[in-house]
Chain A
């Protein structure tokens, strides 16, 4: 088993626990924005796609990378955009309505 795998596993397990503790605390009110926000964060795979597309690869890998950039970047832009729209809609009873 490669050494990298072991250190990656440490990171994965710890991040999974942190995620578990954080998500448990998210109010059910916000479960829909939670899903769109984690989706936008997940779109960070765009960085891997950028490297694959930008280095000297074959036309095949460049094409695959470009598709991956478009798909994940659309999630990033759209995900943050809609999450912000949604969380702005949540107003407490004290807030004045227009």
Chain B
């Protein structure tokens, strides 16, 4: 077979890979078929890689094999991280994906220098800008999630003007390149400016906004791969990139809606800075309770809804919560978990943590499904969640979180909140829920307190 014929056969492998990509996402729709989806993705990837290694254009294998081994050496440990580290791992993988797309774009530029058309130059410039800014932006996000960098928003006066000017500079350099593609100095400057913009884009964004940011970066990483497909004329890359890009985009829309905010507000609003004045300092009366009292109320309940938030992840309380779930279920209490879309640091964060702790997934209920249940709920137990249960979002006009969809914990007969102290949440807003007559504040570390609840419940059981 001659080289041209082989290249044509390779396309069939790529087409098969595209079909498998789509099936992989289709099967991921439910936990029952999800593993099959992963398998389909793996076969697709293996098929595409093996086909490419047989591409007649590939003549030197030494560096390919070395790089593949390095990649596997990095990838395997990154696949084995603890589930609690998944958000930062995900941000890091967006960085790697974007780095890869940017590097290929840069290599294409240098290889094509003598015969670049203006159109081709424009495609490469756009692709390299998005890849570069996603690379540094994702690194900053990963740093914040790993708590190497501060999680709070880092802001200064005139920040948005500075950031937007840097982006404008990158675009101006890209236009200059389209006019003079041979000026490599312009290209290098454009890459550097885009890398700087990525840092400026994510640095001001606070920890509570990470679910949106991580989804947006996912979307950018996908679209940079799709753009690379345009540059290289590879339909397979276009499909893979478009799937990844639209996935990230949909997730960011879901996250924004769950906070009642717009993209511009997330990217340029620096949540948590505007409303520092909104925090009231007056002391309002609260009711607190001991583990013993709380356990008695839980023991008498028929329906309990547990509302986990980022605090649960920080305290690593998910395994203790599963024990509480077991103890209560054994005593005939109906227990569900109410999952707010932006609880935690990335989309689906709470679900994965609780699934790892062996909570059955049919007990993890989405916001829209669980909200009508609260009036029939005896106890709503809030663990490490704050803004997502704040009734101010619904009833206080002018509150910074006004209009944000919340879990209606305040409708339950009794509300229990496990919390370290009365300090306000990420949004810096006082939570009206804590001051209701039916609310009991349970002060202490989430994991330790759930532990004592379990002990008290078992003591009640032994006493009967």
Contact = CB atoms under 8 A, between A and B. Distances in A.
Contact of B361 (A50, A68, A91): A91
Interface of B: 17, 21-22, 24-26, 28-32, 34-35, 37-38, 41-42, 44-45, 48-49, 51-53, 55, 57-61, 63-64, 66-68, 70-81, 83, 86, 89-90, 93-94, 96-97, 99-101, 103-104, 106-108, 110-111, 117, 119-120, 123, 214-215, 218, 221-222, 225-226, 228-230, 232-248, 250-251, 254, 339, 341, 346-349, 351-352, 355-356, 358, 360-364, 366
A76 B80 CA distance: 13
Contacts of A36: 86, 90, 93
Interface in A43-98: 43-58, 60-62, 64-95, 97
B393 to A, nearest CB: 20
Contacts of A32: 86, 90, 346-349, 351-352
Contacts of B83: 85-86, 89
Contacts of A71: 71, 96-97, 99-100, 103
A66 B94 CA distance: 18
Given A28-B341, A43-B97, A91-B360, A38 B355 contact: no
B103 A68 contact: yes
B242 A70 contact: no
Nearest to A69: B67
Given A20-B250, A82-B79, A97-B358, A54 B31 contact: no
A52 B231 CA distance: 13
9 residue pairs, one from A and one from B, having the closest CB atoms: A81-B79, A73-B71, A31-B348, A77-B75, A54-B58, A74-B75, A19-B246, A69-B67, A32-B348
Interface residues of A, number: 85
Contacts of A70: 67-68, 70-71, 74
A25 B66 CA distance: 40
A60 B70 CA distance: 19
Contacts of B70: 70, 74
Q: Is the interface of A mostly helix, strand, loop or mixed?
A: helix
Contacts of A85: 79, 83
Interface of A: 1-2, 4-5, 8, 11-12, 15-16, 18-20, 22-58, 60-62, 64-95, 97
A67 B352 CA distance: 32
Given A51-B55, A75-B93, A95-B360, A30 B101 contact: no
A28 B104 contact: no
B59 A56 contact: yes
Contacts of B77: 78
Contacts of A67: 67, 99-100, 103
Contacts of B106: 64
A95 B59 CA distance: 51
B407 to A, nearest CB: 14
A7 B355 CA distance: 43
Contact of A37 (B38, B63, B251): B38
Contact of B38 (A29, A77, A83): A83
A39 B100 contact: no
A53 B28 CA distance: 33
A2 B35 contact: no
